[in-house]
Amino acid sequence: MTHCHSPGVTLYPELTHKRVGVLGMPNVGKSTLFNQITGASAFVGNWPGVTVDLLEAEVELEGETVEFVDLPGIYDLEGYSEDERVVQDFFERFPVNLVLVVLNAGQIDRQIRLALQVKALGIPGILILNMVDEANHFGIDIDSQKLEEKLGMPVALVSAKYNRGILPAKHKISQVLAQSQAVTVPQDLTLKIEAHQQISPSAIAEVLEDTVKMPSNLYRTFTQRLDSLLLHPVIGLPLFFLTVYLMFEFVWEVGLPSQDIADAVTTWLQTVAIDPLTAGLPAFFRGFLVDGLYGGLATVASFVPLVVIFFFMMAIIEDSGYFSRAAYMMDSIMYRLGLDGRSFVLLIMGFGCNIPAVMGARVMRSRSLRFLTILIMPFALCSARLTVFVFIIDALFDRTWGPLVLLSLYLISFLVAFGTGFLMKGQFASKEPFVIELPPYRFPTLKQIWLRGWGELREFLRRATGFITAGVVGVWLMTNLPQGTANPIGSAGLTIALGVPLMVGMVTGGNAVKAFVQKGGAWIIVGVLGVLLLTNLPGTGDASYAVRLGEFFAPVLSPIGIPQELTIALIFGFIAKEIIVGSLATIYHLADPGAIQATLAQTISPIQAYSFMLFCLLYSPCVATLATIRSEAKSVKFTLFTVVYGLVLAWVVSFIFYQVASLF
């Protein structure tokens, strides 16, 4: 499955198993159905555009291995938006045995056209009418037998959210796959799509006649009654921001005590296991393992419960359908800023992680609007930054005011994003109209909430064993080297950065070094520049590289109130923001998070702390997000612009705040 920071799926044109594509319009429950059939845990949400990439999983169906591919939601199989091109590209490159056309049963009159397109193109398909429970609630009557006869396509009625009708649907899929179905030929399908005529309204009416009965007067639903309050032109937006504030208050009140429990567990583990096991090691290696590696990771780990609780709350609001309402209410404001309501929803989506928010901009057909939306996404206060800010706020501010301080940072992230849209709308002008379908309010299931929290925990563990560990180790080395030598890293570092690729090239004849340079060329350049910087830093060998880096950047960071000892944390924060929290243990040579917070409170003022958080909020997204921006924009120039713009903006905002606040 595709997840925040995870790599995409790998598909092969050759069919090794039967392949089934899952196709449907946005927000019809495709990913929920995909999860129910395959047992996967793809991210789902109650707003359009959640799935923006291919998700793949293999499952045994009645003794046969079947590959399922979840495709992005589209409105038209012959359209020209990015997500529609992804689907067309899939069908043009990969043969399939079957397509599941997933529609919202309650909106069958507006969505049946997609099933007719699939049939007209000659693609073997099954019509899955999802959310049939809601359709029944609205008084919509569907005769699946007659519909099946008219369409010439099997029909299954399901409620994927509540796991109803899944087994009969899987049986139908197995039956169809067991028949001698012709596999789609990508080349032929491309010609058919280009030559295909649009589905006429009369063809849709003919299929629905005598098969679907819509009530003459839909009664006033719970959604309509709630919308009259939540979409109110005067109190609608204040109610939304009040809801967000209450979410932060809950996360704060419940999350901080859970952090104390996590601290107690990591401290106990250090006492009973880490300290005794490392007692006999030399001081240098013991410091590296205990204060550097374990202390850093334990500090980051203490925030896992808080982040999981945060995502539980996000899942509840997301699945309720409230975010789509927020997009609708904000559209008139966003339009004046050169954006639209979808940009606002993606900005909120970025609270979890900037990467899916950047990828979500694919649903925008206008290139200018997509670029402007991508430009503002890094200002969304993601969960990695949340851990940094909660740690600092809890150390420097009264706990009573903590939620308000945290809310102020979220509001600033909104204001900066809106201001960027206003400043840049001339360069990224767009006339794309805003269209969004408001889904009914839905109660999220416990399974969906749990999957979201578990997914974030699993992602943390993956990151903790990867570059977060590398970052914490890097900070420790920078803080503890050189050991009495002026510049020991100079010759060793250059030897590693340049000598290893050359040696590999000599052994393999050059092909391996070429591939190595192609994949890691940027990192080699960064490594060489880093070695040259460290080698030529001012200062003496008695001071660590971290101290000398702090002195080197002091003319830039001192005017915004950031002390020299935190410079190294900001530098490694380019890789991942969680490293900032982990690096504090190394910087202050303490493994206990409570002791780190106490030391932090004694060494910097609340004004300095807030300025540091402002800079951290705005200065640059993590490396993974930058790679996603590069991939989505397909422009190195635009990617570099996002970095430079963020750095300059972060310094200016922090400078204004620190200098003005210091006057009082």
For 252-273, write each residue's pLDDT tens digit.
788 777 777 877 888 888 888 8
Question: Residue range 383-408: average pLDDT?
Answer: 87
326-376 confidence digits (pLDDT tens): 888 888 888 888 888 888 878 887 887 787 778 777 767 678 888 999 999
Q: 652 pLDDT band (50/70/90 cuts)?
A: very high
Percent helix, strand, coil in the chain, to 5, is 65, 5, 30
The lowest-confidence range among 263-272, 283-292, 489-498 is: 489-498
3 state SS of 662: coil
Which pLDDT does position 156 carry in this prediction? 94
Say what percent of the chain tops pLDDT 70.
Answer: 80
Buried b (16+ CB within 10 A) or exposed e, 564-594: bbbbbbbbbbbbbbbbbbbbbbbbbbbbbbe
Beta bridge pairs of residue 67: 19, 58
Q: 485 pLDDT band (50/70/90 cuts)?
A: very low
Which pLDDT does position 3 carry in this prediction? 39
Work out the number of other CB atoms within 10 angstroms of the CB of residue 94. Answer: 19
Q: Determine how β-strand 18-24 pairs with β-strand 98-104.
A: parallel
Question: Residue range 72-84: average pLDDT?
Answer: 73
Say what percent of the chain tops pLDDT 90.
Answer: 17
Work out the number of other CB atoms within 10 angstroms of the CB of residue 196. Answer: 13
507-564 confidence digits (pLDDT tens): 555 555 566 565 556 666 766 677 667 666 666 656 777 778 888 888 999 999 998 8
83-142 confidence digits (pLDDT tens): 677 787 888 788 888 999 999 998 888 889 889 988 888 888 999 999 998 888 888 889
Question: Residue range 433-450: average pLDDT?
Answer: 75
Element (H, E) at 24: strand 18-24
> Residue 488 pLDDT > 50, yes or no?
no
Q: What is the pTM of this model?
A: 0.68
Q: 154 pLDDT band (50/70/90 cuts)?
A: very high
DSSP annotation of 165: S
Q: Are 152 and 115 in contact (CB under 8 A)?
A: no
Which pLDDT does position 438 carry in this prediction? 77
Task: Assess whether the previous peptide bond of 482 is cis (omega < 30° from 0).
Answer: yes
> Residue 15 pLDDT > 80, yes or no?
no
Question: What does the alpha-carbon distance between residue 457 and residue 442 come to, in Å, rounded to a whole number?
Answer: 25
Average pLDDT over the chain, rounded to an integer: 79
C-alpha atoms less than 13 angstroms from C-alpha of 570 in its C-beta half-sphere? 25
Question: What does the alpha-carbon distance between residue 582 and residue 568 come to, in Å, rounded to a whole number?
Answer: 12
Question: What does the alpha-carbon distance between residue 594 and residue 242 come to, in Å, rounded to a whole number?
Answer: 31
C-alpha atoms less than 13 angstroms from C-alpha of 540 in its C-beta half-sphere? 2
Q: Are 29 and 10 in contact (CB under 8 A)?
A: no
CB-based burial label for 380 (10 Å; 0-12, 13-18, 19+): buried
583-610 confidence digits (pLDDT tens): 787 777 776 778 888 888 898 999 999 9
Which among 363, 582, 316 has a CA at the least distance from the CA of 474? 582
Q: 30 pLDDT band (50/70/90 cuts)?
A: confident
618-632 confidence digits (pLDDT tens): 998 887 788 888 888
Which pLDDT does position 486 carry in this prediction? 40
DSSP annotation of 338: T
Which pLDDT does position 185 carry in this prediction? 65
Which pLDDT does position 186 carry in this prediction? 64
Q: 80 pLDDT band (50/70/90 cuts)?
A: low
Which pLDDT does position 290 carry in this prediction? 81
Integer Rg of the chain from CA: 27
Top-confidence residue, 522 or 377: 377
Positive or negative torsion for Cα 223, 225, 229, 231? positive
* Phi, psi for residue 261 in degrees, rounded to 5: -65, -45
Q: 654 pLDDT band (50/70/90 cuts)?
A: very high
Which pLDDT does position 496 carry in this prediction? 54
Q: Any idea how long the chain is?
A: 664
Tokens for 297, please give them. 């990771």
- DSSP one-letter string for 47-110: STT---S-EEEEEEETTEEEEEEEPPP-S-TT--SHHHHHHHHHHHHS--SEEEEEEEGGGHHH
State the Cα torsion 507-508-511-517 to the nearest 10°. -40
Which pLDDT does position 228 carry in this prediction? 87
Q: Which of 13-22, 264-273, 404-413, 583-592 has the highest mean pLDDT?
A: 404-413
What are the residue boundaries of the structural domains of the chain, listed by start?
Answer: 18-213
Question: What does the alpha-carbon distance between residue 314 and residue 45 come to, in Å, rounded to a whole number?
Answer: 10
Element (H, E) at 157: strand 155-157
**In angstroms, what CA-CA distances link 39 with 57, 166, 263?**
9, 12, 34
Which pLDDT does position 408 carry in this prediction? 92
CB-based burial label for 275 (10 Å; 0-12, 13-18, 19+): middle
The one-letter amino acid at 234: V
3 state SS of 583: helix
> Residue 53 pLDDT > 80, yes or no?
no
> Residue 477 pLDDT > 60, yes or no?
yes
CATH architecture of 18-213: 3-Layer(aba) Sandwich (3.40)
DSSP annotation of 274: I
